[in-house]
Amino acid sequence: MAHFIILLGPPGAGKGTQAERIIKKLGIVHISSGNLFRENLEKETDLGRLAKSYMDKGELVPDNVTIAMVRERLTKLDCQTGALLDGFPRTPAQAKALDKILAEKNESILCVPYIKVPEDLSVERLSGRWTCREAGHVYHEKYNPPKEKGICDIDGSPLYQRDDDKRRTVEQRIKVYSQQTAPLIDYYDKNGLLRTIDGTKEIDEITESILKEIT
Ligand code: ADP
Ligand code: ADP
């Protein structure tokens, strides 16, 4: 049976950071909807242009395009053994669509680690986040700095600060999270899949806690 796992949590909780570590242990792919949108943006596709108008404002990209994009990604062969979803689903409609996509594959969600952090920590983490151009690897100038300033440890590509990590957009993203994504905590709690993880801890400790819930 394949392992489909969803990492839930507010912007800046550490989903991307944890995803990179967990996929190495489990041997499954990391699917980040934010990274998929940013790849489209780099390639200047129609989807990228459409997504940018929402991302710049800290709003969610409409469900129909987001669901179609993730659905297509999940049909790829590398998802046969499962996937770690990060940043998707973000609305109840996306969560229902995902249940349906997986049911069509005769699969289901294994569990939903929810990385819980207070709002002030989200803001602090996002304001010090540096992201790699090549593959979206993330660093923090204070908490998780790269070996060489401005350069990704993994692929040597330059690091940049995302436009939407600026203070005003961050505040909007957190608001959107509370309104549209936080209801998923209850959704996955009700069906017994939610595993709450203390996201205020050190990166390694959080990885351990998540792995304990999964394996
Ligand atoms: P998300 O994908 O949930 O938005 P990221 O994984 O990109 O979050 O992490 C946001 C920022 O916080 C990054 O700069 C990352 O290096 C940093 N970070 C992640 N986890 C921790 C942690 N446990 N303690 C301190 N900083 C962290
Ligand atoms: P973070 O790392 O802070 O959680 P992401 O990289 O996941 O942020 O997302 C960045 C932006 O991409 C979001 O603010 C939103 O505009 C868009 N986005 C990403 N995933 C989704 C989704 N599942 N539904 C709608 N919009 C999304």
pLDDT in tens, 54-97: 999 999 999 999 999 999 999 999 999 999 999 999 999 999 99
Give the Cα separation of 55 and 8 in Å (integer): 19
Ligand 2 atom, smallest distance to 165 CA: 3
Which residue bears the tokens 């040597």? 156
pLDDT digits (tens, 9 = 90+) for 168-187: 899 999 999 999 999 999 99
**pTM value > 0.75:** yes
125 CB near ligand 1 (under 6 Å): yes
Average pLDDT over residues 116-139: 94
Q: Measure Cα distances from 154 to 85, 100, 123, 159 in Å.
A: 21, 36, 25, 11
Domain ranges of the chain: 3-117+175-214
Closest ligand to residue 56's CA? 2
Give the bridge partners for 85, in sequence order: 6, 31
pLDDT at res. 2: 80
Could you confirm whether 73 is annotated as catalytic?
Answer: no
Average pLDDT, the chain: 96
pLDDT at res. 168: 86
List the catalytic residue out of 15, 73, 125, 195.
Answer: 15
Closest ligand to residue 126's CA? 1
E strands present in 51-150? 82-86, 109-116, 129-132, 138-140
Average pLDDT over residues 191-198: 97
Ligand 2 atom, smallest distance to 59 CA: 16
CATH class of 3-117+175-214: alpha beta
Report the candidate in 164, 158, 147, 150 with the shortest Cα–Cα distance to residue 54.
164
- In this structure, the chain runs to a length of 215
Give the Cα separation of 35 and 30 in Å (integer): 10
